[in-house]
Structure 1
Amino acid sequence: MNIALLGYGRMGKTIEKIAEDRGHEVVLKVSDDIDNHELDGSKIDVAIDFSIPDAAFKNISTCFRNNIPVVSGTTGWLDNYEKAKKICNEENSAFIYASNFSLGVNVFFELNQKLAKMMQGLEDYSVEIEEIHHTQKLDAPSGTAISLAQQILQENSKLKGWQLEDADADEIPIFAKREENVPGTHTVTYDSEIDKIEITHTAKSRKGFALGAVVAAEYLKDKSGIFTMKDVLSELFKN
């Protein structure tokens, strides 16, 4: 499979190594913005986008218009997500966006949703989310923390939304911390006077995110439509 890497920072370089180890070839490397780079859909099977928020939508939509499917893990651009899906469908392309491509995190998402269903009727418990990332991470809270909050909101009609730290009683507080050399830790806590329930995912390196992105690209090749990591997991675990 021929891959275009959009965003060639630390994550892009880790993706490149894993892709090559899995027998793929990286045929284009773009630092951030796709301008001034030639795109040929006949030579690129899938683009993997880990660029920056300001460049992501242009990168993604340009790929679709050049017949190139996209796997995107860039966060902070989702005001344009619906526009990106529309362009993808108009161009008969394929798209997977995920706030976190780690296979372990996507299992964690499944656990979070099941736990939220179980906890929705237990009014003595309050819920909060904490995320810790490296100091170079530009957005806060993380896309993964937002995804966790959205899952909880889907299961609990008494909660109206989420806020960064200063939340009302009917909102989920998300606490974002930045520390040196932390790939990513997410904890969902349900707390009461009697006890506390926590689930945590701790990333040990960027390899988990990179592997998941490459696996998603393998899944997306030769498809058309809008997909999620749930589709990718279903394919992996169907046997």
Structure 2
Amino acid sequence: MRILVLGHGKTGKLVAEVAHERGHGVHVLDAKENPGGAALTAPFIAGFDAAIDFTTPQAVQTNLRALLANGAKVVVGTTGWYDSLKDMRDLAQRRNAGMLYGTNFSVGVQLMLQLATEMTSALSGAGYTFAIEETHHATKLDAPSGTALTLQQAAGAAGQVPITSKREGDATGLHMLEARSDADRIVLTHESFSRRGFAEGAVRAAEWLAGRTGVYDFRDIYTQLK
């Protein structure tokens, strides 16, 4: 496959490295080379089997409009843009494109979300209160994180669980769901030691998406990855 990586930050660089390790041709496009999505012309896009975006909430929307309008297959690892999800979904469907988005491409996080649903369903109404805490690096733009919001959604049986967000140093990502009663405390935790889990999930997602059209949430397809 030929994979276009949009974004040359820490995660974008690692995505390119993992894609190369998995035998793919890789082209990385940073913000300076793609102002306002100007580099994403139809002939340029046609040279790739899939694109992976790890840019910013502002840049990703411009990139998606160009990519999807030309029928591209796009994996979106950027968060903070979901107010535009319906518009992008409609565009992808009109242009017979493919889009796979997710707040977190770590398979471990996906398992945590499943366990969060089970835990809150079992404990709601049993005298427990619930809380979510998430910690990320100081330069992360969105708070709460997309993963924390997805965790809140997964814990919906407990109502609107409050989220506390922390931005510290170069923290890769820590998410905790706490259930507390007068008798005990249960904490479901996922801690990322590096961004590699995100990068591997995103590249495997691009491999999965390359032969498909339509719009998919990573939560719904992660068990199908190879």
Q: Tell me the SS of whatever aligns to 2:104.
A: coil
Q: CA deviation at 1:216?
A: 0.6
RMSD between superposed Cα atoms in Å: 1.6
> Sequence identity of aligned pairs in percent?
37
User: 2 CA distance for matches of 1:141 and 1:82?
Assistant: 21
User: 2 CA distance for matches of 1:28 and 1:199?
Assistant: 36
1:126 aligns with 2:115: no
Q: Is the 8 A contact 1:101 1:229 kept in 2?
A: yes
What residue in structure 2 maps to residue 54 of structure 1?
58
User: 1 CA distance for matches of 2:223 and 2:197?
Assistant: 18
1:236–1:70 CA distance, 2 compared to 1 (3 A): closer
Partner deviation per Cα, 1:52-101 (whole Å, 9 max, x = no partner): 11111111121011121110011111110111111111111111110001
What residue in structure 1 maps to residue 68 of structure 2?
64
What residue in structure 2 maps to residue 169 of structure 1?
none
Q: Tell me the SS of whatever aligns to 1:181.
A: coil
1:52–1:33 CA distance, 2 compared to 1 (3 A): farther
1:37 aligns with 2:39: yes
Q: CA deviation at 1:181?
A: 2.1
TM-score normalised by length of structure 2:
0.93
TM-score normalised by length of structure 1:
0.88
Q: CA deviation at 1:33?
A: 4.6
Partner deviation per Cα, 1:138-193 (whole Å, 9 max, x = no partner): 1111100000001112x34xx2x3xxxxxxxxxx2111111112100000000111
1:232 aligns with 2:184: no
What residue in structure 2 maps to residue 80 of structure 1?
84
What residue in structure 1 maps to residue 180 of structure 2?
191
Q: Tell me the SS of whatever aligns to 2:155.
A: helix
Q: Is the 8 A contact 2:40 2:67 kept in 1?
A: no
Partner deviation per Cα, 1:192-217 (whole Å, 9 max, x = no partner): 11100110000000101111100111
Aligned residues: 222
What residue in structure 1 maps to residue 206 of structure 2?
217
User: 2 CA distance for matches of 1:225 and 1:9?
Assistant: 28
Amino acid at match of 2:201: G
User: 1 CA distance for matches of 2:40 and 2:178?
Assistant: 47
Amino acid at match of 2:150: S
Q: Tell me the SS of whatever aligns to 1:76.
A: coil
What residue in structure 2 maps to residue 140 of structure 1?
143
Unpaired runs of at least 5, structure 1: 162-171
User: 2 CA distance for matches of 1:114 and 1:148?
Assistant: 12
Q: Tell me the SS of whatever aligns to 2:37.
A: coil
